[in-house]
Amino acid sequence: MKQILKLKIEKLALGGFGLGFSEGRAIFVPYTAPGDEVDVLITHQRKDHAFGKANHFHQHGAAYREPECEAFGAEVPCGGCDWLMLDYPAQVKAKQALVEEMFSPQVDSRLINPTLASPKPRHYRNKVFMPVGKLPGTGKTGYGIFSRYTHTIVPHQACLNHPPVFDQLAKSILEACEKAGVAAYNEAQHRGNLRHLGFRSSSDGKQVLVILVTLSAKLPFSNLLVKKITAEFPQVCGIVQNINRQRGNVILGEETKLLYGSDSLSDTLSDLRFELNYRSFWQINTGTMENILCSLRAALKPQSVVLDAFCGIGAIGLSMASQVKRLALLEENPQAIADARLNAANNGIDNLSFYTGRFEALLPQVIAELNPDTIIMDPPRSGVDAQSLQLIAEKKIKQIIYLSCSPITLLRDLKLLKAGGYKITSLQSFDMFPNTWHIECLAILSLS
């Protein structure tokens, strides 16, 4: 295996890699940052670039800080963070640099706004699922987060990204399950029972849902487990057993058993109350989502007719409803639309309609019936299909508000929309995921 000595890391790249150059080739090294000088073992080679692993640091860059997490500093690091070794202002600056580098060929640099930092750089995640299994080299049952590109569990004592109560709950549950003889799941053999521990918290921390993902419906001494957890953690409002009998990477199965309380909790966003099922999509970082909603409101024209596509349980659209003339929520998942209807009713919102089905299939019908002047799109990481973007351009929808968790697919889709006659009037990035390289971007477009 080739080694590069004293590689100087020049910048940060997509994927969270530090980037240096050796003999005319780009060398991507995880868990490094600008100013680091490292010895690197090359793990994968291509013609004009390579990937490697830092095996010795000669010096750290100016923004380095001690990670304060044993899992991040492990021989095989936890995959939950990319940049925990950088102070937070440097992380935000790096994300801004990535956005400017990616989008400057398509967007006037004067229209690219500075990245908005997360209100909470730590303990910001309101939901997490952590795998359970035998820990490598110990034979003990544990939980944690998979290392990068693997299914190797890296345990931690206290994750800095989610609320401390999640780890406190996990330790207590695991202790009870071990006493009850509940075996950890073995992925290779498809045996054992306890697969994942999941937690969802309200923004104020007063309600917490616990989700136990198991291979089979049998869960010995579940009544004792419920008594233990609810006695120790009075904020737990529901304990759910989700049964996933299948092999594979999908965390949740189709079967649910309610062991205690409710399978939903209530949370607040922009002074509206939302009921969140344990399965519901909800932005991980509520503080950053509030910042995004502020930018969305500023972009909306008074008395707009708005289509909120990929709406989920209606968080974005319902938060905009008071300042628009008419609103339609479109979502593929029937349960999410049912939840959106409930949330609309609970908040007294009635200037809206609902559509259930695939975006690309229903878009012609919705445009014909609603005649929207604005479309809000928050698609999955894969982005929006080209045919739908073409239809939006053909129908001359006046304004597009596009929220994306993937700068790569956003850039692709912006090129198609520009070709269809739209101009980008604003690009705003947000730090939804501190300590990682991931970036949330909001693009505002209007007809040229």
Domain-located, residue 27: yes
* CATH code, domain carrying 138: 2.40.50.1070
289: domain CATH number is: 3.40.50.150
Handedness of CA 99, 105, 109, 112 (dihedral sign): negative
- Is 37 a member of any domain? yes
Which residues, given as ranges, of the chain have pLDDT below 50? none
CATH number at residue 38: 2.40.50.140
Among 221, 239, 265, the domain boundary falls at 265
Predicted pLDDT at 148: 87
| CB-based contact 208:236 (threshold 8 Å) | yes
Same structural domain, 281 and 317: yes
Contacts of residues 227-231 at CB distance under 8 Å and 24 or more positions apart, as own/partner, are 228/172, 228/176, 229/169, 229/172, 229/173, 229/176, 229/260, 230/260
Residue 253 shares a structural domain with residue 349: no
pLDDT tens-digit map of 397-410: 999 999 999 999 99
- If asked whether residues 427 and 382 sit together in one domain, one would say yes
**286 and 423 belong to one structural domain:** yes
Same domain? For 299 and 330 the reply is yes
Q: 346 in a domain, yes or no?
A: yes
Please tell me whether residues 247 and 145 are part of one structural domain: yes
| Co-location of 24 and 160 in the same domain | no
pLDDT digit string (tens) for 340-353?
A: 999 999 999 999 99
Q: What are the distances in angstroms from CA 50 to CA 6, 8, 76?
A: 16, 15, 20
Select from 111, 112, 117 the least CA-distant residue to 93: 117
Same-domain status, 155 and 200: yes
What integer pLDDT is reported at residue 269 of this predicted model?
Answer: 95
- Domain end point (choices 198, 232, 265): 265
**Structure confidence at residue 136 (pLDDT):** 78
Residue 431 falls inside a structural domain: yes
Answer yes or no: do 100 and 211 share one domain: no
Q: Is residue 77 part of a domain?
A: no
Consecutive H or E run containing 412: helix 407-419
Are residues 316 and 428 located together in one domain of the fold?
yes
Residue 190: the pLDDT is: 95
Mark whether 229 and 289 lie in a shared domain: no
Residue 248 belongs to a domain: yes
> Where a domain ends, among 195, 230, 265?
265
Q: Judge whether 443 lies within some domain.
A: yes
Q: Which pLDDT score is estimated for 1?
A: 61
Per-residue pLDDT reduced to its tens digit, 1-41 = 699 999 999 999 999 999 999 998 999 999 999 999 999 99
Q: How far apart are CA 67 and CA 432, in angstroms?
A: 19
Please tell me whether residues 291 and 416 are part of one structural domain: yes
Residue 344 domain flag: yes
In the annotation, is 78 catalytic? no
Containing 139, the helix (H) or strand (E) segment is: none
Domain count, the chain: 3
Catalytic residue, chosen from 69, 177, 311, 405, is: 405
Per the CB < 8 A criterion, the answer to whether 117 and 88 are in contact is yes
Residue 260 has what pLDDT? 98
Range of the domain at 218: 127-265
